[in-house]
């Protein structure tokens, strides 16, 4: 029962499916075609190639034991026939053939298949503006473009760059240009925050602050209206300003590359992704698809979603390989977990952000926690910032997002939550997550457990909170005079603020609050503040007991405000 399997696309999912299938059915014949001559590379490594962390593009194409994954490698090591520079033009599902064309020689060839795999990937979202064809205007969707970008940079052609889009590829590219090459880099973003749809506005402000510390300017709520230049790009014009630019990188999102599937009459989702079942079969059971060209189930909402992520592509590829061999593997869907390094920080997420949860008609509330990433008495440590998004009515955890240093501590916490998120945990499961504890790695009550506890207290109505953005709004309008800030830290911490803002900032340390309760202003709304929100919560409970309930605890405390970049 030797089979002929044809695979269209030889990056990530295609090779993975091919190799898995071949290991299960060594007698099968596999042909894999790709329109490029560069195949089987780690596309997520492109920003690190451009930055110089990865010196040579070939490294992205190597196995971990330094073999180049080229045509010869697939032939000799894998017994897989790879045809590069070969574009698939059309699929004839009745005859089970694919018409291909060699992009250099122009020669057409018809290949037959028993089973077909579509790994056609994604394409960049095009901007409907003039100037996108000028020299120096790039997307970063394939390795050839990345090589061209790096070439121009290393030739000294780029002193000033503009990136369009503050999603994670845009931000990774900003780091790549700034960190090693010292290129002056601006980002233009159409929404009001970085990483829109991925993290909350409050966390986004913290990321933005870090970008600004690294001299990356981000212009929000601005749309690029045209790109100007003679032959080469010179300027980027937005609704609000004109920015000089020797290079423009368009990172305004990507879309499924599903034209071939659409032409073949396969079912395509309204958003353009190829529709597949859990076995990764398209509407034609002899045709599988996966990776950046398909939609899969969002395991939080149950709805189809688009996750162009390399980790998913690889796991889906293995599922397809197993099923090609008659197996019963399934890819359930995704909680959309991701991590990104930006200069000295990492940002990671699984599940829905606060705003996304709202848009999905949940009734979300967020708990926010700032705590050291390991035992607070351990000498090397950093603050970590974590937000848990919870549905108020059910207590279901919908997502988690956070920010930490550039080490592995942040992603390690997200790993734990990502592992259970699809089983719809409640906050008490976060409170009771069993995280290995030792002072060099974690806290006895780790930040994740503490975050679960905080969420539980918020849901129980015991911890009435406000977030940094609400604090900032109030602070701007503080002269209304209805609200004051009660600082629950020791006098040493509070003193400078009390002296600077005597009308708006009072000090009663939490451990003196019972004795000094008479000093608490009773006629105003109180914003309770401490370093991270823990002592101010204790203060709130003491005041609740005394019947004073017009108090709001600033989640994350002064640490959150500082990270936000608020200069008080």
Binders of a second copy in range 391-430 (CB under 8 A): 406-409, 411-420, 422-423, 428
Piece of 62-70, 104-112, 127-135, 216-224 that binds a second copy (CB under 8 A): 62-70
Residue 408: φ, ψ to 5°: -95, 5
Q: How many residues does the chain have?
A: 568
Among 27, 133, 479, 523, binds a second copy (CB under 8 A): 27
Nearer to a second copy, 332 or 519 (CB): 332
40 contacts a second copy (rule: CB under 8 A): no
Binders of a second copy in range 431-490 (CB under 8 A): 431-442, 444-446, 449, 453, 462, 489-490
In this structure, the number of other CB atoms found within 10 A of the CB of residue 160 comes to 16
* Cα–Cα nearest to 306, from 291, 316, 288, 287: 291
Specify which residues 298 forms β-bridges with: 334
Structure tokens, 380: 């090397």
* Cα–Cα nearest to 383, from 400, 366, 407: 407
In this structure, the number of other CB atoms found within 10 A of the CB of residue 184 comes to 17
Residue 29: φ, ψ to 5°: -100, 125
Binders of a second copy in range 484-503 (CB under 8 A): 489-490
Residue 186 CB, nearest distance to a second copy (Å)? 24
517 contacts a second copy (rule: CB under 8 A): no
Piece of 214-222, 225-233, 272-280, 511-519 that binds a second copy (CB under 8 A): 511-519
Could you tell me how many residues of this chain bind a second copy (CB under 8 A)? 106
Distance CA 519, CA 396 (A): 40
The answer to whether the beta carbons of residues 216 and 185 sit under 8 Å apart is: yes
Nearer to a second copy, 115 or 413 (CB): 413
Question: Taking each helix axis from N to C terminus, what angle separates 468-476 and 557-564, rounded to the nearest 10 degrees?
Answer: 80
| CA 454 from centre of chain | 24
Residue 182 CB, nearest distance to a second copy (Å)? 19
Distance CA 256, CA 266 (A): 14
Nearer to a second copy, 423 or 499 (CB): 423
Helix (H, G, I), strand (E, B) or coil at 324: helix
Among 288, 338, 368, 564, binds a second copy (CB under 8 A): 338
Residue 187 CB, nearest distance to a second copy (Å)? 19
Structure tokens, 260: 């071939």
| DSSP secondary structure code for residue 407 in this structure | S
Among 224, 287, 329, 427, binds a second copy (CB under 8 A): 329
Among 1, 2, 64, 480, binds a second copy (CB under 8 A): 64
Residue 306 CB, nearest distance to a second copy (Å)? 16
Residue 383 CB, nearest distance to a second copy (Å)? 10
The answer to whether the beta carbons of residues 208 and 214 sit under 8 Å apart is: no
Binding mask 282-321 for a second copy (x = CB under 8 A): ---------------------------xxxxxxx--x---
Piece of 206-214, 272-280, 335-343, 385-393 that binds a second copy (CB under 8 A): 335-343
Residue 64 CB, nearest distance to a second copy (Å)? 4
Binders of a second copy in range 197-256 (CB under 8 A): none
The answer to whether the beta carbons of residues 47 and 163 sit under 8 Å apart is: no
Among 40, 258, 282, 334, binds a second copy (CB under 8 A): 334
519 contacts a second copy (rule: CB under 8 A): no
Residue 408 CB, nearest distance to a second copy (Å)? 4
Residue 540: φ, ψ to 5°: -60, -40
In this structure, the number of other CB atoms found within 10 A of the CB of residue 98 comes to 24
Nearer to a second copy, 236 or 414 (CB): 414
Secondary structure in 3-state letters for 84-145: CCEEEEEEECCCCEEEEEECCCCCEEEEECCEEEECCCEEECCCCCECCCCECEECCCCHHH
| DSSP secondary structure code for residue 343 in this structure | T
Piece of 58-66, 112-120, 212-220, 473-481 that binds a second copy (CB under 8 A): 58-66
| CA 42 from centre of chain | 17
Nearer to a second copy, 6 or 558 (CB): 558
The structure tokens 């006895």 sit at 444
514 contacts a second copy (rule: CB under 8 A): yes
Binders of a second copy in range 361-390 (CB under 8 A): 371-373, 375-379
Distance CA 152, CA 167 (A): 23
Residue 541 CB, nearest distance to a second copy (Å)? 5
148 contacts a second copy (rule: CB under 8 A): no
Among 344, 538, 548, 566, binds a second copy (CB under 8 A): 538
Among 195, 276, 339, 389, binds a second copy (CB under 8 A): 339
Nearer to a second copy, 253 or 412 (CB): 412
The answer to whether the beta carbons of residues 154 and 324 sit under 8 Å apart is: no
């Amino acid at each position: 029962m030797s089979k002929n399997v044809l695979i269209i696309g030889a990056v990530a999912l295609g090779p993975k499916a091919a190799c898995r299938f071949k290991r299960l059915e060594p007698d099968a014949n596999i042909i894999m075609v790709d329109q490029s001559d560069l195949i089987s590379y780690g596309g997520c490594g492109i920003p690190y190639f451009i930055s110089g962390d990865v010196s040579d593009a070939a490294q992205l194409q190597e196995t971990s034991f330094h073999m180049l994954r080229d045509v010869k490698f697939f032939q000799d090591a894998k017994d897989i026939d790879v045809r590069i520079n070969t574009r698939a033009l059309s699929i004839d599902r009745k005859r089970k053939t694919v018409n291909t064309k060699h992009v250099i020689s122009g020669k057409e060839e018809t290949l037959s298949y028993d089973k077909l795999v579509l790994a056609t990937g994604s394409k960049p979202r095009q901007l409907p503006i003039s100037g996108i064809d000028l020299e120096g205007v790039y997307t970063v969707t394939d390795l050839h473009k990345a090589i061209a970008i790096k070439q121009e940079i290393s030739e000294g052609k780029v002193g000033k760059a503009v990136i369009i889009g503050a999603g994670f590829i845009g931000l990774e590219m900003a780091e790549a240009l700034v960190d090693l090459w010292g290129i002056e880099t601006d980002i233009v973003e159409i929404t009001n925050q970085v990483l829109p749809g991925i993290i909350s506005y409050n966390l986004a402000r913290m990321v933005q602050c870090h970008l600004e510390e690294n001299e990356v300017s981000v212009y929000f709520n601005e749309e690029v209206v045209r790109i100007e230049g003679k032959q080469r790009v010179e300027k980027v014009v937005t609704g609000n300003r004109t920015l000089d630019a020797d290079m423009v990188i368009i990172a305004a999102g990507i879309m499924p590359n599903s034209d071939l599937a659409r032409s073949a009459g396969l079912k395509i989702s309204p958003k353009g992704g190829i529709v597949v079942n859990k076995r990764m079969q398209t509407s034609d059971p002899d045709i599988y698809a996966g990776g950046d060209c398909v939609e899969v189930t969002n395991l939080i909402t149950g709805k189809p979603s688009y996750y162009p992520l390399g980790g998913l592509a690889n796991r889906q590829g293995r599922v397809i390989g197993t099923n090609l061999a008659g197996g019963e593997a399934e890819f359930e869907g995704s909680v959309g977990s991701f991590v990104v390094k930006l200069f000295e920080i990492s940002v990671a997420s699984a599940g829905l952000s606060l705003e996304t949860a709202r848009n999905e008609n949940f009734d979300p509330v967020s708990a926010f926690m700032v705590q050291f990433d390991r035992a607070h008495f351990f000498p090397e440590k950093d603050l970590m910032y974590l937000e848990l998004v919870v549905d108020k009515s059910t207590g279901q955890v919908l997502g988690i997002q956070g920010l930490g240093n550039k080490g592995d501590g942040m992603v390690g916490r997200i790993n734990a939550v990502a592992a259970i998120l699809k089983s719809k945990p409640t906050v008490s499961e976060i409170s009771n997550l069993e995280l290995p504890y030792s002072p060099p790695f974690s806290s006895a009550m780790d930040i994740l457990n503490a975050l679960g506890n905080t969420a539980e207290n918020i849901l129980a109505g015991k911890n009435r909170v406000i977030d940094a953005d609400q604090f900032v709004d109030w602070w701007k309008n503080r002269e209304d005079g209805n609200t004051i800030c009660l600082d629950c830290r020791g006098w040493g911490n509070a003193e400078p603020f009390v002296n600077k803002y005597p009308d708006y900032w009072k000090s009663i340390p939490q451990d003196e609050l019972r004795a000094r309760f008479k000093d608490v202003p009773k006629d105003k709304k109180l914003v309770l503040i401490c370093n991270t929100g823990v002592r101010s919560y204790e203060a709130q409970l003491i005041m609740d007991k005394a019947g004073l309930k017009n108090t709001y605890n600033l989640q994350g405390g002064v640490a959150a405000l500082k990270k936000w970049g608020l200069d008080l």
